[in-house]
Homo-oligomer: A and B are copies of this chain.
Amino acid sequence: MPELKGLMMLKYYHAEPLANSLKSMLPLKEKGLAYESIYVDLHKFEQHSDWFVAINPEGQVPVLDHDGTIITHTTVINEYLEDVFPDAQPASGPLRPRDAVGAARMRYWNKFVDEHVMNFVSMHGWHRLVRVIASSIEDGQFEELMSHVPLPDQKKKWETARSGFAQKDLDHATDKIVYALDKIEQHLGENAYLAGETYSLADINFYSHCGLMVDRMFPDMKVNETRPNIVRWRDAVSARPAVQEALQSEDRTAPGLRTWSGAGTEHS
């Protein structure tokens, strides 16, 4: 059984179950693939440690190791899992539609989330969570930590988190999120899911980066009161057993900082 052999050799390096780390964990669970879960502790900067950078030179989670082949970037990982394990799929159907038009719709929305949602929610998450961590580090130690960050953009993001994001940039990020919510609310008024009638990688993408925590992170947007289609969609995604299981994964974020992370954990 060569496929079973393949299944035994999947390792998934990830952090808390939200954003990127959740985004590739969900297909693994939805497809029922056996994998070794390796928690990378961002609170200890393990993603910049020598052992991890030897695996992913970009120093970022998550990473999929399939029989020694390293695949990075969640949108790429998730298409890879469809290419390698096309027949492993949830009862709701394939996570990448089999028809070309459906696959194109899925990719349109994946691209929209990757380019117009992810970084903007992330900025608010960093502003609330990483800023607190980054500004609690002593000067010399901070520079030492930064010397291990491989990506220049990522180093800049850390430095900005420490000094504080500009209000203009935070406001722009908020505008982008509101625009995305408007667009998706309208789309989900005409479609059950983002790519059409079935749950796909596009839903997993928007859920992991925004849908899961948007109401918790941005209570002023009143998503629960004003976006019935998104709420209906979010509740359908949240009710999936694979999603429930993923959200129970390890979370070492300090409870007081769980605005962004944490499966439904409230401040109180």
- A interface vs B, CB < 8 Å? 69, 71-73, 75-77, 79-80, 83-84, 100-101, 103-104, 107-108, 111, 114-115, 152, 179
Contact = CB atoms under 8 A, between A and B. Distances in A.
Contacts of A84: 100
Contact of A108 (B72, B111, B179): B72
B108 A76 contact: yes
21 contacts: A69-B101, A72-B108, A73-B107, A73-B108, A73-B111, A75-B111, A76-B104, A76-B107, A76-B108, A76-B111, A77-B104, A79-B107, A80-B100, A80-B101, A80-B104, A83-B100, A83-B104, A111-B114, A114-B115, A115-B115, A152-B179
A83 B103 CA distance: 9
A150 B76 CA distance: 30
A107 B69 contact: no
A125 B94 CA distance: 41
Contacts of A69: 101
Contacts of A107: 73, 75-76, 79
Contact of A103 (B72, B79, B100, B104): B79
A-B interface, 4 closest residue pairs, ranked by CB to CB distance from nearest: A83-B100, A80-B104, A76-B107, A84-B100
Nearest to A115: B115
Given A71-B104, A72-B108, A111-B114, 10 more contacts: A71-B101, A73-B107, A73-B111, A76-B107, A76-B108, A80-B103, A83-B103, A83-B104, A84-B100, A115-B115
A114 B100 CA distance: 21
A73 B115 CA distance: 12
Contacts of A100: 80, 83-84
Nearest to A69: B101
Contacts of A101: 69, 71, 80
Contacts of A114: 111, 115
Contacts of A75: 107, 111
Nearest to A109: B76
Contacts of A73: 107-108, 111
Contacts of A179: 152
A76 B84 CA distance: 20
Nearest to A112: B73
Nearest to A84: B100
A36 B130 CA distance: 52
Contacts of A103: 79-80, 83
